């Protein structure tokens, strides 16, 4: 038999490494199945495919597997004529696998070439987390037999180990009984053997002698229907044990067949080729299942991001609508505005001739509070409330959306406990942004008045007051006001705007309010986007990389190309 081309093991290793790190972190439908498939492929590549590709002439490994109480250990002991593995009435009986080989083959199994993840022991008794290696002259060179745990064991780790060992076999010797050969668990394993092209022998144990032919014919028909007509069928009638062993005439046909495989290199090679080719062929569909699982992860991550983005986009819209509706010109803001324009010296003065303000300018420099300070403070508080309410609502909407989105509940459970409310630092950040915005408005006013030399002195005195009027103009709309509020707030806003127009001109005043409004909305959008980042970060930590699916499919395609090149 020719040695495998180096490219095939390399391609297999590359695929294995991707599957070992496959990103399946979001709890979405199909995640567990994809994870099990990925882990099973990795185990089979490590335990069987790579070792076998690198040494095609290594001894054939026959794994004896089956259901609880099927008589696997008794069968193995009977094949060898010596008690090498524990058989008994307690279930599960086989707690640790036992591998038996000829003395000449000990080196082939004592190291980590096959089943590298399982520690070896050559002592008596059970081995926890590994396998017991037994050397026996009862087996010919070229053949090893492994007694595996029950495939339907009540112990989950036993079931998983049994599946792993079967995947590492060149040949399955599957043991079932006359009473249980039609059960679901045996046929699930037999279908797996068919899908993977595994060389298979079926041992029908404990068959009543009077029904031997009928039961064997029925099972044979089921095997043919399942596409397993090539499987060798051995029937062992239920008879009394002799010294704990099956009657010699019952076990001899299976022993002779196994020994003939060991003695005939061509037959042994044919079994190895069949199982190896079948296992490699099965990888495409198994990797597809994993890739589909990763694709579902990516779709779920995108849906989670979209839910957060939609909630915070709605919050940004709510801020814009709150600014435009005039709703802020109520309560404390309305009271301060009425005080400012109704009784304040600033507005009455600006309604006169600008030149007559110069006397008032001098008086204003004696240290009295800046005009509009109370109004600005009330506006600051009102805008902060608007921003906080938007963030609180966005957080609550996102959490509610995630609770109904695949992958969302597990992310929420793993995230910080305060996700349903605005983050602890948000209020301070919002306050800082509002103050910065107010400073920007005053800068706009100063810059607009910088080239109005004839009015510079008057305007420099009134910059805070003018700024306050500009801020109010940003929110001035009858959309949020009713009744007397419209007359007071809307009317006095118009008075303030007319005075500003007298100083700057109509277009400049509109430009000031527009720029101030745009700046506020940009700050709100930036603030809420930063607030959304805590949700995005949760998704990013669990979402697969954008090219994860493509990488898996490319690696599977590379493996297929390597197999074609080898043929």
Assess whether 128 and 259 both reside in one domain. yes
Same domain, yes or no, for 317 and 194? no
What per-residue confidence (pLDDT) applies to 389?
92
User: If residue 531 lies in a helix (H) or strand (E), which one and from where to where?
Assistant: helix 506-542
Q: Kindly report the CATH number assigned to the domain that includes residue 144.
A: 3.40.50.300
CA distance 329 to 58: 86
Does residue 363 form part of some domain? no
| pLDDT in the model for residue 249 | 95
How many alpha carbons lie under 13 Å from residue 180 in its C-beta half-sphere?
A: 19
What pLDDT, on a 0 to 100 scale, did the predictor assign at position 462? 55
Q: How many domains does the chain have?
A: 2
Q: 66 and 174 in contact (C-beta within 8 Å)? A: yes
pLDDT at 99: 93
Whether residue 387 is found in the same domain as residue 533: yes
> What b/e readout covers 357-394, taking b as 16+ CB neighbours within 10 angstroms?
beebeeebeeeeebbbebbbebbbbbbbebbbebbebb
* 530 part of a folded domain: yes
Question: For 190-233, how does the pLDDT look when each residue is reduced to its tens digit (9 = 90+)?
Answer: 888 888 889 999 999 999 999 999 999 999 999 999 999 999 99
**Between 539 and 512, the higher pLDDT residue:** 539
Q: Which residues pair with 98 in a beta bridge?
A: 132, 147
pLDDT tens across 98-110, in order?
A: 999 999 999 999 9
CA distance 300 to 47: 33
Question: Is residue 158 domain-resident?
Answer: yes
Residues 384 and 476 in one domain: yes
Residue 503: partners with Cβ closer than 8 Å, 6 or more residues away: 350, 354, 449, 452, 455, 458, 459, 466
Say if residue 250 is in the same domain as residue 330. no
pLDDT value for 360: 40
Residue 432 lies in a domain: yes
Residue 348 has pLDDT above 90, yes or no: no
Alpha helices in 404-462 (DSSP H): 408-414, 426-449, 456-461
Weakest mean pLDDT among 27-41, 103-117, 134-148, 338-352: 338-352
Note whether 237 and 325 are same-domain residues. no
Looking at residue 460, what is its pLDDT? Answer: 45
pLDDT computed for residue 532 by the predictor? 97
pLDDT category at 326 given cuts 50, 70, 90 is: low
Same domain for 258 and 332: no
Same domain, 314 and 177: no
Tell whether 453 is covered by a domain: yes
User: CA separation (Å) from 439 to 151, 379, 445?
Assistant: 73, 13, 10
Please tell me the predicted confidence (pLDDT) of residue 541: 94
Same domain, 332 and 253: no
Helix ranges (H only) for 365-425 are: 373-403, 408-414
C-alpha 521/C-alpha 212 separation (Å) is: 85
Q: Do 393 and 515 reside in the same domain of the chain?
A: yes
> What pLDDT is stored for residue 477 in this prediction?
47
| pLDDT score of 335 more than 70 | no
pLDDT score of 104? 95
The DSSP secondary structure of 230-243, one letter per residue, reads TSEEEEEE----BT
Residue 111: predicted pLDDT: 86
Which two three-digit tokens encode residue 61?
A: 């490994």
Residue 15 belongs to a domain: no
- The length of the chain is 567
68 shares a domain with 196: yes
Strand ranges for 402-552 from DSSP E: none
Q: Is the dihedral of CA 134, 137, 141, 142 positive or negative?
A: negative
Are 284 and 264 in contact by the 8 Å Cβ rule? The answer is no
Confidence of residue 364 (pLDDT cuts 50, 70, 90): very low
For residue 152, being part of any structural domain is answered with yes
Give percent above pLDDT 90 in the chain.
54
Check whether residue 245 and residue 314 sit in a common domain: no
Residues spanned by the domain of 92: 58-263
Cα separation of 182 and 178, whole Å? Answer: 9
Residue 48 in any domain: the answer is no
Answer positive or negative: Cα dihedral of 526, 532, 534, 537.
Answer: negative
Pair 15, 133: CB distance under 8 Å: no
pLDDT at 344: 46
In 169-264, which ranges are continuous DSSP H helix?
184-196, 212-225, 248-263
* Helix segments in 197-234, DSSP class H: 212-225
Q: What mean pLDDT is predicted for residues 326-333? A: 55
- Cα separation of 437 and 380, whole Å? 9
Q: What is the pLDDT of residues 409-422, one digit of tens each?
A: 999 999 898 899 99
What is the model's pLDDT at position 451? 53
pLDDT in tens, 438-462: 778 777 776 765 555 434 433 544 5
Cα–Cα distance, 98 to 78 (Å, whole number): 14
C-beta separation of 232 from 205 below 8 A: no
Query: Using an 8 Å Cβ cutoff, are 544 and 298 in contact?
Result: yes
Helices in 1-105 by DSSP H: which ranges?
Answer: 7-20, 31-44, 50-54, 72-80
Average pLDDT of the residues of the chain: 81
């Amino acid at each position: 038999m020719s040695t495998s081309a180096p490219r095939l093991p390399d391609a297999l290793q590359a695929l294995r490494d991707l599957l070992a790190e496959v990103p399946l972190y979001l709890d979405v439908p199909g995640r567990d199945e994809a994870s099990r498939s990925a882990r099973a492929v990795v185990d089979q590549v490590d335990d069987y495919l790579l070792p076998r590709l690198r040494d095609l002439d290594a001894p054939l490994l026959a794994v004896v597997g089956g259901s609880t109480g099927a008589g696997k250990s008794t069968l193995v002991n009977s094949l060898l004529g010596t008690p090498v593995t524990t058989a008994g009435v307690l279930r599960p009986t086989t707690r640790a696998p036992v591998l038996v080989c000829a003395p000449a083959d000990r080196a082939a199994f004592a190291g980590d070439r096959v089943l590298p993840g399982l520690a070896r022991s050559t002592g008596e008794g059970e081995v926890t987390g590994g396998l017991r290696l037994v050397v026996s002259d009862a087996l010919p060179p070229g053949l090893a037999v492994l007694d595996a745990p029950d495939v339907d064991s009540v112990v989950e780790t036993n079931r998983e180990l049994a599946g792993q060992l079967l995947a590492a076999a060149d040949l399955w010797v599957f043991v079932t009984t006359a009473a249980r050969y039609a059960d679901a668990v045996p046929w699930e394993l037999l279908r797996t053997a068919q899908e993977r092209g595994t060389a298979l022998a079926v041992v029908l144990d404990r068959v009543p002698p009077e029904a031997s032919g009928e039961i064997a014919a029925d099972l044979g028909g089921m095997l043919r229907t399942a596409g397993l007509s090539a499987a060798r069928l051995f029937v062992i009638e239920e008879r009394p044990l002799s010294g704990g062993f099956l009657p010699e005439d019952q076990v001899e046909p299976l022993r002779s067949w196994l020994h003939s495989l060991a003695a005939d290199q061509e037959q042994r090679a044919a079994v190895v080729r069949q199982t190896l080719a079948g296992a490699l062929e099965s990888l495409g569909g198994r990797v597809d299942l994993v890739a589909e699982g990763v694709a579902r992860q990516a779709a779920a991550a995108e849906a989670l991001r979209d839910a957060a983005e939609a909630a915070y986009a709605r919050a940004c819209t709510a801020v814009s609508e709150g600014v435009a509706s005039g709703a802020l010109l109520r309560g404390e803001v309305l009271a301060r505005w009425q005080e400012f324009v109704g009784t304040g010296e600033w507005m009455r003065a600006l309604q006169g001739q600008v030149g007559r303000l110069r006397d008032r300018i001098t008086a204003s420099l004696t240290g009295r509070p800046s005009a509009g300070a109370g109004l600005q403070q009330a506006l600051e508080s009102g805008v902060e409330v608007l921003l906080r309410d938007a963030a609180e609502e966005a957080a609550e909407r996102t959490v509610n959306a995630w609770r109904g989105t695949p992958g969302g509940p597990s992310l929420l459970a793993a995230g910080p406990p305060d996700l349903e409310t605005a983050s602890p630092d948000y209020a301070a950040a919002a306050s800082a942004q509002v103050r910065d915005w107010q400073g920007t408005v005053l800068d706009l006013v100063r810059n607009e008045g910088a080239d109005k030399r004839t009015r510079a002195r008057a305007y420099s005195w009134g910059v805070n007051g003018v700024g306050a009027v500009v801020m109010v103009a940003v929110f001035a709309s009858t959309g949020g006001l009713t009744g007397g509020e419209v007359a007071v707030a809307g009317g006095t806003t118009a008075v303030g705007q007319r005075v500003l127009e007298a100083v700057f001109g109509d277009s400049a005043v509109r430009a000031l309010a527009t720029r101030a409004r745009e700046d506020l909305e940009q700050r709100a959008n930036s603030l809420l986007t930063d607030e959304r980042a805590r949700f995005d970060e949760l998704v990013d930590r669990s979402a697969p990389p954008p090219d994860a699916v493509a990488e898996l499919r490319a690696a599977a395609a590379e493996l297929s190309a390597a197999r074609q090149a080898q043929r």
